[in-house]
Structure 1
Amino acid sequence: MSKFFRTLLQRTYLALITIPFKLMPSLAYMAFTGQGSTAQLCRHIARQGIRRVLVVSDKPLVNLGIVARAVDVLTEEGVSCTIYDGTLPDPTFAMVDDGLALQAQYNCDAVLAIGGGSSIDCAKTIASAATNGRDATKLVGYFKVKKAPLPLFALPTTSGTGSEATIAAVISDHHSHEKFFIADAKMLPDAVALDADLLLGMPAPITAATGMDALTHAIETYISLWGTDSSDAHGYAAVKMIFEYLPRAYKDGNDAVAREQMSIAAYYAGMAINDAGVGNVHAIAHQLGRHYGTPHGLANALVMPEVLRFMAKTSQQPLAKLGRLIEVATSSDSDLQAAEKFIDAVADLNKRLGVPDQLDRLKEADIPEIAIAAVKECSGYPVPILMSRDDCQAILRTLLSSPEGAPVLAS
């Protein structure tokens, strides 16, 4: 199929799918921020008359005592807690089923996610499936959550996915590792806490990966065909904050100011996704996660500079604005020059954060299959320019390990 007809089909599909998004009610939620916000969120949960909470998290956060910080407050407030700690990166429908079984066994009337995007996505899906037939696979797609989910709350422990602010979740098939999207305005958490105290001491590699994930969201929403005044404002602010505070958080894991600002930036970028969606970077990154288990934030970081270079001419105006925003470009630069300087700044930020530019597990023989899947996925995104298979393969080949043994990423 020619690029013209692919683009025509994409624009037609986007026009149709935009209709329910435009008809969505205004999204309303509550966010607690700053020191002590974990306790504020937990007291808010108790004030809603909730008495039995399913806490969705992972074993490391339980062992570190992070989950206990919330559970102790809830217990003091008379709320009983059942902990599901089986969430792993790239949560599966099997994990959702395990959480649903606990929810039913203990008759939990609300769900609290504590963790990164994986735990939050798992919790969103559990809360939604619990009131909609208990089969999460039937919720895949847009606007399939017919009945209101169980009351849902989120306590993010990373600054990257923005899942605490979005209307979507990503759940994988246990066998094929294919990722499936579930999106509905009803999946937005009722309230969240952005507590920087929970982020202190996060290892530098995780700080880098999650921070670059947030930057990807901010940039992709800012250049999206679906961009709105609201998403542009949130994406614009997030880009500025991430360039300023991510290097600080990476350098000093206990920089409380940087941690707090990064949590807000990730939240802003997540809010922007609700209006503007994601794009070509995610389309490729999802395939790297599926094929090789590459952590999502790292996959985004690896792919982003070359994808932006591919899109530089088409998206030169918004990218130029971002270049001038972070002061790597000036008003005397043309838009294309400013856009290219911004892309160079993204690549340089990767280097400063220790993110390599190669993926050692990527094999030449896998590239055609990965490209086919990525091109198919991006056709449903509001990207200003579609990748062809050749375009995608060229981007992927820049990630191949060099025979000379250049530094590579062990995913």
Structure 2
Amino acid sequence: MNTLRKIWCRTYQTAFRVALPLLPYREPKLLENMDAVADLLAGKGLSPVLIVTDKGISSLGLLRGLTDALDAQGVEWRFFDEVTANPTIHNVEAARQMYLDEGCKALIAFGGGSSMDCAKACGARIVRPKKPVQKMRGLLQVMHRLPTLIAVPTTAGTGSETTLAAVITDSETKHKYPINDFSLIPHYAVLDPAVTAGLPAGLTATTGMDALTHAVEAHIGRSTTAHTRAMAIEAVQLIRQYLKRAYDNGQDLEARAKMLRAAYCAGIAFTQSYVGYVHGVAHSLGGQYGLPHGLANAIILPWFLEEYGPACHHRLGELARKTGVAPADASDAEAAGIFIAWVREMNDSMGIPRTVDCIQPEDIPQMAAHADQESNPLYPVPKLMDAEELAHMYDVIAGSQTAGKGASHERRIPYQSAAAIL
């Protein structure tokens, strides 16, 4: 990246860091269970309510606890279960139309990050009917209070129940639109481990590593606060202790509960301190090829940590020592190296590949441009990179080049095989 653009990016990021204490961040109010959701809606007279979810969740009967609780309180409900893995503008518009047609008064996002992203964007379109999703892209393009939004995560990873972000895919252009606005933060969140107990092992793995990516990118960035660092550290500690347990035994409710807490903490951390190029590249891969976001983040994370090199050693080393991943007496460089090796070991132990084969060389320039446009100047990354430098990273992620010293491609698995774990 040229010098003038670096100055612009760092100036922009510094302004946001200085403004952090003044910005209207908030955390959702926590509800214990589905009965609390029904009590809240009944007490506020918010009926009917639109439940936004996907067909996988509706077909598995995971909504029964919620709908039974709503029925017991006399709260009418409708459900929209057309959300796709990378929610599209069409999904958003269809959900919005159902909300309006049915006279709904509140939204419940029930599922993973995709359901929450769709519900958030649906709420934004409800309160901004003349503003299309494409025009909401970027920062503070909604600026209206959404209808009451309750988030019920069924995965422990996205942290979307805490965040001001929604990511929507334009099916025609194959481009993802990140929408960032304080009004998108859900008003309430339900961290109920019982609804995550049926999560397949592959999704447990990739969503858990998604939470890890949020915590790491927030901690190594240049816009941290004492609170976001503490949240990131707690998230990594919990992931280190409980993710593999949840992966090995999906009915381990203690591990499930701790992973929900980890995702929540990581969500708080990156909502205020932002993410980095891992997310910019992952979004482009999701938009272009439909690669699931958690899987993309899990694969990409160690490659970028290596590429950042000394620029991230101090913060990454600190994170490694404080979470017990590295010994307390390890130097920054040693601790950072140990942390990167631990990330790869976690991926390996859960069947997550190190590279993917879906990346086509002819697609890289456009994807790199999208990642550059999303990430710069917003994301306060340790080391700035432009579209050309990001393009190199797609080659790395595809396994065609080596990033960092001692990188290995021994577990280069085709994309089809990687997707099969989902």
Residue aligning to 1:24: 23
Superposed counterparts of 1:376-391, under 5 Å: 376-379=373-376, 380-391=378-389
Paired letter, 2:90: A
Residue aligning to 2:405: none
The answer to which of 114-123 and 135-144 deviates more is 135-144
CA contact (8 A) 2:157 2:207 kept: yes
Residue aligning to 2:204: 207
TM-score scaled to structure 1, two decimals?
Answer: 0.93
CA contact (8 A) 2:213 2:298 kept: yes
Q: Structure 1 residues 369 and 124 mapped into 2: Cα distance closer, same or farther (>3 Å)? A: closer
Q: Does 1:346 align with 2:343?
A: yes
Residue aligning to 2:2: 3
Superposed counterparts of 1:357-368, under 5 Å: 357-368=354-365
Residue aligning to 2:106: 110
Q: Structure 1 residues 45 and 136 mapped into 2: Cα distance closer, same or farther (>3 Å)? A: farther
64, 86, 98: which one aligns with 1:90: 86
Q: CA separation in 2, counterparts of 1:391 and 1:143? A: 28
Q: Does 1:319 align with 2:325?
A: no
Give 1:76 shift. Answer: 1.4
Residue aligning to 2:215: 218
Paired letter, 1:185: F
Paired letter, 2:381: V
Give 1:21 shift. Answer: 5.1
Q: Output one character per residue of 1:178-208: Cα deviation in whole Å (capped at 9) or x when no partner.
A: 1112222222111111110011131111111
Gaps of 5+ in 1: none
Percent of matched pairs sharing the same residue = 36
CA contact (8 A) 1:53 1:111 kept: yes
Q: CA separation in 2, counterparts of 1:246 and 1:357? A: 18
Give 1:349 shift. Answer: 0.9
Give 1:99 shift. Answer: 0.9
The answer to which of 201-210 and 18-27 deviates more is 18-27
CA contact (8 A) 2:368 2:390 kept: yes
Residue aligning to 2:264: 267
Residue aligning to 1:132: 128
Give 1:370 shift. Answer: 2.9
Q: Does 1:408 align with 2:414?
A: yes
Give 1:216 shift. Answer: 0.3
Gaps of 5+ in 2: 401-408
Give 1:399 shift. Answer: 3.0
Q: Does 1:12 align with 2:11?
A: yes
CA contact (8 A) 1:194 1:260 kept: yes
Please give the secondary structure, in 1, of the residue aligned with 2:397.
coil
CA contact (8 A) 1:38 1:155 kept: no
CA contact (8 A) 1:58 1:115 kept: yes
152, 157, 160: which one aligns with 1:155: 152
CA contact (8 A) 2:160 2:267 kept: yes
TM-score scaled to structure 2, two decimals?
Answer: 0.91
Q: Output one character per residue of 1:292-338: Cα deviation in whole Å (capped at 9) or x when no partner.
A: 11111111111111100112311111111222234342233221111
CA contact (8 A) 2:355 2:411 kept: no
Q: CA separation in 2, counterparts of 1:272 and 1:371? A: 26
Paired letter, 2:354: D
Please give the secondary structure, in 2, of the residue aligned with 1:359.
coil
Paired letter, 1:381: Y
Q: Does 1:335 align with 2:332?
A: yes
